[in-house]
Structure 1
């Protein structure tokens, strides 16, 4: 057996053949340098201490002058030069390096296997691939879930006529194993392009995308990189999304793509019949999509007559869309998206194949008023049956008598005309009574599932829920997804159906910016995804948009009103009358003008502001049903934790049972379950 004194290990190493490897254990061991599975011939420690090496890893040079990185030599290190809480990432495959690595003084790191295998490709040392066989096409379909089913050069899925090695994990398309090391290219005539690592992470000169791993063709003096696929584009491309073929056209100056309206470089494809010029990636744009931000189908258009449009603003980014170039458009609503905005997030849209589908017939709301029993002379329903209440409801405008009551639908104070039950303490705003029993909802994708179109949401009031959008716990009405069970309070549901929001605290409409990070003008919180005014520096988070304009609290006998501006400039008045702490006069607060009471928003609303007092909770472990209560004049001790019940609590109404507990102390805890 050949003996080898090896760098990085204290004992000599012996060469093992397959029989010796199997006789030394179960034959399944990892290389102590690269971490891969060891196959014979290999090296093993003479002291049998569990140290094994691939033959190529054992013979790896301590210094490697790599043709794909000519500026400096690569030095073999036993461990990454990082602390234990830092991560070293290979600059070729973009995977973590944990053991032996090749390192360059310019800050590059390579797995030992990545450095050695790419060196053999660069040196055309294809005898290293003698153990590699041409694999049948079924291989890629069986292994498409990981890197094993991808080419080690271009990182695309493997197909027919592929170099394949199960032992070392290096799998190559035949064309990738035989790439030219240099090429003269039409888009860069000053110097030849050289196959190399994309060490500087440069964006491709053709497609403007920066790939994180693999090779590129580059010119170091000109600081230029081109992806392998972009360097040899197809001369003609046909796609079912367009009726004519596209022909390759090299350009030495930038152009504007007719499909998406953004700049392109060097490689263009033209359709002479339609007189359009596009990026390669824009040839296969989906022609019809459904989008999470719009109910109807959107059609891709290369241009639109401006006379048919009421607005030229993209529904997602709210910036002007140039209709001389490509966009996604709904003719029924005059709604338009930039192409790149519409397709920015893969889980926000789905491709539609039905050309003649009728959008208008999809959403036929089911009325929640099950029966109208009486109408007045103006045709207004005065007595109704509602699907979420067992008694008749009567229309009323007696605010003096019921002005401190809350709507059982949205849990806000009732206002204007409302329906109420004469037999029990049940109230509904007229608008809440007219909510549909069932409605398709566009702005929802079930967790873990790709967006497939509008989802049916069902109006319900049969349980406690946590709103998916605002996060408040509530026992009012909710709209629940019929597929995944996600629930939205009726206020959030209505908000999501609007393209622009008008609130009393600001004179301009507010538009929602999904990727915009800014400080909320209402509460001061910095948040990503905000309602923003295009005309002035005014932003609101979702919770502040939904704040009730009037509330009732025990701190004052009158109704408190949401106040948007400071009332005076005297610092001594800028305190909350509930918590007695200082409040920021720039932020919104609730105020009673009669008593000059000013309070923080959170002090008024609290944690359970959308739970109706007196309603029943049946989900706890207590033997009797519990009722939501709020003690004012005395604060009994919680039977679970012993602290005083000062906020909303759950009390047993069973005669002789003195059980009362904080909501958070109930098992299962409210908020953990919902």
Structure 2
């Protein structure tokens, strides 16, 4: 071993020539205190480590980026960003060249770059040249302002951050069903709404963005590439995009091209496109919401699907689940939804990797884009971070659907509340009503539990009968368990059916109390076995909370 004097450390450093000396000196293999690589110089008394090329760095240097003062090799204790690359989130902060009076810092490797550095881009036809003059600029690749060193293409007259020299030209993002293409500018007439689908702020079309040529949607570069797990790079640009397989096979169509007879892979019979029948107790077997608008029905059994639910793809990517594997459409599996925590067993999407399950209402609600709700006049957008007060339940939100125009806010759970619901307390369909309609009611009591209602919270109401009820009293704990579906219970020899008795309440086989809520009934008519759901379902399939309204 040899000794080496070094700027930035008060003790001599020992030169390690091979791995055996690392073990002999009991130092182990750690990171260089300057650049983060494995070291070959170390100070055994104070744990200062540096490999040979870093140990020989000059203490001072003059740099073209900062001509006022020389730059001194120093520890970046304030974690200032490099004025050349702009980065601050390095694993090893370590040493930098800096000017303390000017708070000017450059990374060691950035300071050693040639002033004539030329970098070839993987998605741009011309190379980029390092522009070593610190001037404010707006990056033409991402549209974000910069005040450090930039790279320029003289042929195209564009200037960009270093990190975006090889920005992928085409990506497949979990935020959108189609491929997204990067461009350095758009013609203003290409898009009607220039709003990023993630942050919902305006996109400057004079600078770079990602867009879908099929749907006319647009994304900020930094929004759609922020999480590396949320997208993949499409390397073969000429390769045809293969969409996920449809859930239906079209058997017959009308003159307008609309499918009138289909075969859905989750049902044994053919389904026919039907008009709204007006039977309030019928719910869609996909989303469990009341049937309305165009829907498909089965002539052999009570099976109904909204047209939109029937046309869902077999596989889907969602931005709020970041496994690399896509999600597969499933049904008739009881689970607790990852997003809303409701117990659910209708249509849902399950991750092919980790088997996480997300209910269909949440998948639909969290699909990027504008949403309309009840009588609110403006579109709502989902914000991953938004602290406010929910207009429906009055509780604080951390993420929510928000209208910027009038500060209207809804929790994800409240946004997914059924607009209409059926309850035995009234012969008509009950409608979700906001607190501004409390003046219609003569009293502010719930007609189900007969307790008072909070006037600032939404409720269900029948305008014909002047019936008003808490949201929780109408929906109950298990409003998203599909009735008449099969549930296998190990303590009974026959398959059980999920039921909710309306007027006749037989006693539970387990606890002997009347089965007034969701229960499991034997599918064999001759067997009178019936039990409460809560008496036999495992803990992870029991609801431990109630609606707060």
Q: TM-score range by the shorter chain?
A: 0.7 to 0.9
SS in 2 for 1:544: helix
**Where do residues 330-409 of structure 1 align in structure 2 (5 Å cutoff)?**
330-359=212-241, 362-363=242-243, 365-369=245-249, 371-372=251-252, 386-391=264-269, 393=271, 397=275, 399=277, 402-409=279-286
Task: Provide closer, same or farther for how the CA distance between residues 369 and 282 of structure 1 changes in structure 2, counting only shifts above 3 A.
Answer: closer
Deviations 1:110-155 (CA, angstroms, capped at 9, x unpaired): xxxxxxx9996624744x32335499xxx9xxxxxxx957433222
Task: Provide closer, same or farther for how the CA distance between residues 272 and 220 of structure 1 changes in structure 2, counting only shifts above 3 A.
Answer: same
**Where do residues 260-659 of structure 1 align in structure 2 (5 Å cutoff)?**
260-359=142-241, 362-363=242-243, 365-369=245-249, 371-372=251-252, 386-391=264-269, 393=271, 397=275, 399=277, 402-416=279-293, 418-421=295-298, 423-424=300-301, 426-431=302-307, 434-436=310-312, 438-444=313-319, 449-450=323-324, 455=326, 457-458=328-329, 460-482=330-352, 484-497=354-367, 499-568=369-438, 573-633=443-503, 645-652=515-522, 655=526, 658-659=529-530
Distance in 1 of aligned mates of 2:362 and 2:4: 55
**TM-fit CA distance, 1:603:** 2.7
Task: Provide closer, same or farther for how the CA distance between residues 269 and 476 of structure 1 changes in structure 2, counting only shifts above 3 A.
Answer: closer
Distance in 2 of aligned mates of 1:625 and 1:329: 50
Distance in 2 of aligned mates of 1:578 and 1:238: 71
The reply on whether 1:232 has 2:112 as its aligned counterpart is yes
**Where do residues 7-156 of structure 1 align in structure 2 (5 Å cutoff)?**
122-123=8-9, 125-126=11-12, 128-133=13-18, 148=29, 150-155=31-36
Give the structure 2 partner of residue 23 of structure 1.
none
Distance in 2 of aligned mates of 1:635 and 1:294: 48
Give the structure 1 partner of residue 537 of structure 2.
666
**TM-fit CA distance, 1:211:** 4.6
Deviations 1:374-409 (CA, angstroms, capped at 9, x unpaired): x89999777665443334556655735x33222322
SS in 2 for 1:325: coil
- Contact 2:250 2:261 (C-alpha < 8 Å) held by counterparts: no
- Contact 2:366 2:382 (C-alpha < 8 Å) held by counterparts: no
SS in 2 for 1:602: helix
For structure 2, the residue ranges without an aligned partner over 5 or more in a row are: 23-27, 544-549
Task: Provide closer, same or farther for how the CA distance between residues 251 and 584 of structure 1 changes in structure 2, counting only shifts above 3 A.
Answer: farther
- Contact 2:247 2:264 (C-alpha < 8 Å) held by counterparts: no
Deviations 1:574-602 (CA, angstroms, capped at 9, x unpaired): 44333445444333221112332222223
**TM-fit CA distance, 1:446:** 6.0
- Contact 2:517 2:532 (C-alpha < 8 Å) held by counterparts: no
TM-score where L is the length of structure 2: 0.82
2:56 aligned to which of 153, 163, 178: 178
- Contact 1:205 1:226 (C-alpha < 8 Å) held by counterparts: yes
2:101 aligned to which of 208, 221, 224: 221
Deviations 1:337-367 (CA, angstroms, capped at 9, x unpaired): 22222221221222221121223xx126435
| RMSD after superposition | 3.9
- Contact 2:264 2:310 (C-alpha < 8 Å) held by counterparts: no
SS in 1 for 2:163: coil
Matched residue pairs, number? Answer: 529
Task: Provide closer, same or farther for how the CA distance between residues 121 and 645 of structure 1 changes in structure 2, counting only shifts above 3 A.
Answer: farther
For structure 1, the residue ranges without an aligned partner over 5 or more in a row are: 1-116, 140-146
**Where do residues 240-259 of structure 1 align in structure 2 (5 Å cutoff)?**
240-241=121-122, 242-259=124-141
**TM-fit CA distance, 1:487:** 3.8
Task: Provide closer, same or farther for how the CA distance between residues 493 and 365 of structure 1 changes in structure 2, counting only shifts above 3 A.
Answer: farther
Deviations 1:480-520 (CA, angstroms, capped at 9, x unpaired): 44555444444344445552222233122222223334333
**TM-fit CA distance, 1:618:** 0.7
2:72 aligned to which of 194, 197, 200: 194
